[in-house]
A and B are shown apart, each in its own frame.
Chain A
């Protein structure tokens, strides 16, 4: 049974506990609640501490996105202190962010997602036996290779930062390292190894150059048909199987998307400021509203949090994250009419609830907003329109599509590093407010820091998990995963693997305990954990 397989998955709990409760009626999910079940209080711990404490503490919020937290923490201090960040340091930070995300893609796909394709539900699919051969936990041919190869990219992180995870090599004013020629050449060798041992032969079945010619959904389908190597690659095989078992037919969600944008251009963000950030990112920021098919740029000042349905004594009004006071409620009894989660509801002042993640990034990448030099890619937006919106399947494709682009960005960083130029310019500490953001593999991440009299007055973090896992807001509107679960067909209510697909398609890096309830009787039908 797949459930059993998941239990022994090597990528288990990474960031705390998530419960999902769903009501099922006539074989479909009709209501859903996502509940974060662990409180650690990082924001409270950081109060009164050294301004740079976030560089040490926040990477440890999460074992798989530590580099992304470090990226946000250091850029937040850069904007606060008004530092100058040398070109080399921007590239070295970007490289860390990139390789962490490249690591995450095969680790997530094989270690967390694809093992469910071997679930007994899909036994009647003509792809089933091959899926078991490739994706079965531990024994699958691709599983073993994919999980093993996922450790390679972060060796580059270790060359620059000393170790992955949990280095603090990014500091306001630059980076701590000063790599040598051999660090750079070793990094190249690691990238080459990753490409020639997995990315091209196993994942794509073609060269990066051939894959990069895909610009539209029709291009992608033509690529699939062009060559048996493409069809039989893990990407080609997954896409065909996903359509066969209907992963494209559920998991839609809130239909509005957000990304902070990331990877600052090495020549355009050496004097980092909060307002200057949007026009300095290679991958542009934005909001995509699929109902009106429009793109808008994103600004941190438009963000709100609401704790009406969370275990905090902070009122019911929408507040900006920097105005949060983080007052946990002593009694955290589950009450689905009232409070049921440690997560807050995050919303955009104008657009309301937004989905974060690779799908959001790629839908925004297809917009015509932003600077002319910023990255533009219309493929996923086109696929979104052709396939009638978001789904579990499209969320995967968006994530998987990013790997080739990030690989190219990593090469760019290695090419542009200048060994004899500075890596760090010592800044002057001062009081004030800072904000830093990036895109973790699983979506929009940002840190707000306020320093007064040389110590942290307030530190607030909004992770991709907060965006996606959040409970209902003050108007009772569901969060992105809650909404995405609505309409999910359940073939076997004692083994609701489809609920797992939806929850996992957000890659929320939480252990999810999924409770399936019968909507009529309230009887608990099944519980199982997703990683």
Chain B
């Protein structure tokens, strides 16, 4: 710790100790005016430690939205001039630049989420440590596909209500889908929340909380402008954002059919006490 920790960090930087995997949490704070002095760590701006360590690391793993995209600190007006390691929101580049690769020749591996699920973190670290890096396919945002290829909705217990367009119109209901009125982003968000579950027992959407899309670079969506929190953004009653790949015309057709075929129980208290 302290001097010991600093010695360790310097030994990594000098190459005396091999830095196999650098795991970074938190945004890269550049304020004020690009100096990084608003976040000092062991007498130096944190970003300077980071710059040095990134040059020598074999693999770099960014954990959480702050480290991947900038997260909440980078939300407008971004008072701490925060960036993610290789992105700022959806824009590639970030602190290290878009062409950066670590010693192993790979870009930063992004494990987003606010918070990142412990399984996402530990399993990727184990995969790297056990020589399975070649099996980790990254998506276009450098997220491991094994966790971020499917949608948050995959495995949600409210899917049946989604199918029949039965809405949870206000909070505190057991029935319905949270997508139509309460702003749930489960159909559009990439994560395995409903496959792996949280704390081994549940997920936000199962419990009744709309997904807020926290594994995507735009989180918090709409910069939390007035009227955007826990409310589905609609035009003429139709959600502005449809599940990816669904065309507006088809969606309208599907809505008619779904509502026509909806069985009565879909509007009842499905998960009875």
Q: Is the CB of A161 within 8 A of B204?
A: yes
Query: Complex: how many Å from CA A60 to CA B113?
Result: 12
- Contact indicator B226/A178 (Cβ below 8 Å): no
Q: Tell me the nearest residue of chain B to A154, going by C-beta.
A: B199
The CA-CA distance from A218 to B73 in the complex, in Å, is: 50
Q: Choose one: A57, A89, A174, A181; the contact of B220 (CB below 8 Å).
A: A57
Q: Do residues B200 and A168 form an inter-chain contact, with CB atoms below 8 A? A: no
- Residue in chain A with minimal CB distance to B175: A178
B205 to chain A: closest CB distance in Å?
A: 7
B: interface residue count bin: 35 or more
Contact among B6, B210, B271 with A180 in the assembled complex (CB-CB below 8 Å): B271
A208 CB-CB contact with B under 8 Å: no
Contact check, A159 vs B202: say whether CB atoms are below 8 A apart: yes
Residue of B at shortest CB range from A181? B273
B40, B80, B199, B230: the one contacting A155 at CB < 8 Å is: B199
Inter-subunit contact B209/A330 (CB<8 Å): no
Answer yes or no: A87 CB below 8 A from chain B CBs.
no
Tell me if A178 and B199 are in contact (CB < 8 A): no
Establish whether residues B212 and A420, one from each chain, have CB atoms under 8 Å apart when the complex forms. no
Q: Do B172 and A178 have beta carbons less than 8 Å apart?
A: yes
Q: What is the chain B residue whose CB lies nearest that of A453?
A: B226
Stretch from B29-37, B84-92, B139-147, B258-266 contacting the other chain:
B29-37
B14-35 vs A: 1/0 string, CB under 8 Å? Answer: 0000000000011001011100
Do the beta carbons of A49 and B225 come within 8 Å of each other? yes
Interface of chain B, main secondary structure: loop
User: Which residue of B33, B198, B226 contacts A50 across the interface (Cβ within 8 Å)?
Assistant: B226
Q: Quick check: is A336 within 8 A (CB to CB) of the other chain?
A: no
Q: Among A23-31, A32-40, A120-128, A300-308, which stretch is in contact with chain B?
A: A32-40
Scan residues 158-178 of chain A and give those whose CB is less than 8 A from a CB of chain B: 158-169, 171, 173-178
- Given A45-B73, A45-B75, A60-B114, A528:B174 Cβ within 8 A: no
B52 CB to closest chain A CB (Å) equals 18
Pair count A-B, CB < 8 A: 194
Q: Which residue of A56, A162, A454 contacts B207 across the interface (Cβ within 8 Å)?
A: A162
- Tell me if B173 counts as interface (CB < 8 A to partner A): yes
Q: Is A328 an interface residue (CB 8 A)?
A: yes
For residue A529, CB closer than 8 A to chain B, the reply is: yes
Q: Say yes or no: A422-B1 contact (C-beta < 8 A), given A40-B80, A44-B77, A513-B42.
A: no
Docked-complex contact A41 and B5, CB < 8 angstroms: no
* Chain A residues, Cβ within 8 Å of B8: 7
In the complex, per-residue mask of B62-87: 1 if CB is within 8 Å of any chain A CB, else 0: 00000000001101111110100000
A423 touches B172 (CB 8 A): yes
Does residue B185 face the partner (Cβ distance < 8 Å to A)? no
For the complex, is A527 an interface residue (Cβ under 8 Å from B)? Answer: yes
Does B1 contact A6, Cβ atoms closer than 8 Å? Answer: yes
Q: How far is the CA of A52 from the CA of B42 in the complex (A)?
A: 37
B241, chain A: closest CB distance, angstroms = 17
Asked if A388 is an interface residue, CB under 8 A from chain B, the answer is no
Contact A162 B198 (CB under 8 A): yes
Q: Are A160 and B226 in contact (CB under 8 A)?
A: no
Query: Is B39 located at the chain interface by the 8 A CB criterion?
Result: yes
A222 in contact (CB, < 8 A): no
Q: Is A53 an interface residue (CB 8 A)?
A: yes
In residues 9-67 of chain A, which contact B (Cβ within 8 Å)?
Answer: 13, 17, 37-42, 44-45, 48-53, 55-57, 60, 63
Q: Counting CB contacts under 8 A, is A332 at the interface?
A: yes
Contacts of B79 in A (CB 8 A): 39-41, 44-45, 328
- Between B3, B6, B8, B210, the greatest number of chain A beta carbons within 10 A of the residue's beta carbon is seen for B3
Contacts of A514 in B (CB 8 A): 2
B171 near A423 (CB under 8 angstroms)?
A: yes
Give the chain B neighbours of A530 by CB distance below 8 A. 1
- Closest chain-B Cβ to A307's Cβ sits at a distance in Å of 16
Q: When the two chains form their complex, are residues A528 and B3 in contact, meaning their CB atoms are under 8 A apart?
A: yes
On whether the beta carbons of B3 and A526 are closer than 8 Å, the reply is yes
* Chain B hits for A173, CB < 8 A: 171
Determine which residue in B37, B78, B204, B272 has the highest number of CB atoms from chain A within 10 A of its CB, and name it. B204
Residues of A near B105 (CB, < 8 A) are none
Q: Is the CB of A38 within 8 A of B172?
A: no
Tell whether B10 is near chain A: CB-to-CB under 8 Å.
Answer: no
What's the minimum C-beta distance from A427 to chain B, rounded to whole angstroms? 10
Interface residues in B101-147 (C-beta closer than 8 Å to A): 114-115
Shortest Cβ distance from residue A242 to the other chain B in the assembled complex, whole angstroms: 22
A246 to B97, CA, bound (A): 53
Determine whether B245 belongs to the interface, using a CB cutoff of 8 Å to chain A.
Answer: no
Q: How far is the CA of A448 from the CA of B199 in the complex (A)?
A: 31
Contact indicator A56/B224 (Cβ below 8 Å): yes
Q: Given the complex of chains A and B, what is the CA–CA distance between A426 and B204 in angstroms?
A: 20
Interface 0/1 of B139-178, CB less than 8 Å to A: 0000000000000000000000000000000111110000
**Chain B residue at minimal CB-CB distance from A494:** B3
Q: Is B208 an interface residue (CB 8 A)?
A: yes
Residues of B within 8 A of A513 (CB): 2, 41-42
For the complex of A and B, 5 pairs with smallest distance between CB atoms:
A424-B172, A528-B2, A162-B204, A163-B198, A423-B172
Given contact pairs A50-B225, A154-B199, A162-B203, enumerate 15 new A-B contacts (beta carbons under 8 Å). Answer: A17-B40, A38-B39, A39-B38, A39-B79, A41-B80, A45-B76, A50-B229, A53-B224, A55-B229, A57-B72, A158-B207, A163-B193, A175-B171, A180-B272, A529-B5
Residue pairs across A and B with Cβ atoms less than 8 A apart, 13 shown, are: A38-B38, A39-B29, A45-B76, A49-B224, A50-B224, A162-B203, A165-B115, A176-B207, A176-B208, A328-B79, A424-B171, A455-B226, A513-B41
